[in-house]
């Protein structure tokens, strides 16, 4: 059902858009519909947050003088980080799956 359009509020997300994003990110997704539903759930949650009515709330922040902040110091790192990685090939690093 690629290309099916689902509307959530003012937003719409299609399986085709999920497929394009997955391809651009080089993520192998077999069930695009599952991710359309997840994106819709996220958009719905953001709509709930947007409707919470906190625009008039005052954000209280404590002023902190610069003298209270730590001094930035450059600490050189002489080792090669790529040599310390377990899963790499050339300039690519293999990271664990995020699902």
Confidence check: pLDDT of 1 > 80 = no
Residue range 26-66, pLDDT digits in tens: 888 888 888 888 888 888 888 888 888 777 778 888 888 98
pLDDT tens for each residue of 11-29:
578 888 888 888 898 888 8
pLDDT at 99: 62
Report CA-CA distances (Å) from 30 to 23, 39, 47, 65: 11, 16, 28, 53
> pTM of the full predicted structure?
0.41
* pLDDT at 5 exceeding the cut of 50: no
State the DSSP string of 26-63: T---S-HHHHHHHHHHHHHHHHHHHTT--TTPPPP---
């Amino acid at each position: 059902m690629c290309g099916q359009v689902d509307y959530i509020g003012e937003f719409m997300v299609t399986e085709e858009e999920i497929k394009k994003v997955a391809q651009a990110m080089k993520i192998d997704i077999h069930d695009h519909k599952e991710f359309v539903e997840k994106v819709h759930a996220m958009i719905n949650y953001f709509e709930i947050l947007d409707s919470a009515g906190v625009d008039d709330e005052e954000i209280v922040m404590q002023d902190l003088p610069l003298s209270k902040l730590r001094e930035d110091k450059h600490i050189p790192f002489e080792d090669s980080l790529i040599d310390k990685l377990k899963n790499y090939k050339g300039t690519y690093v293999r990271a664990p799956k995020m699902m």
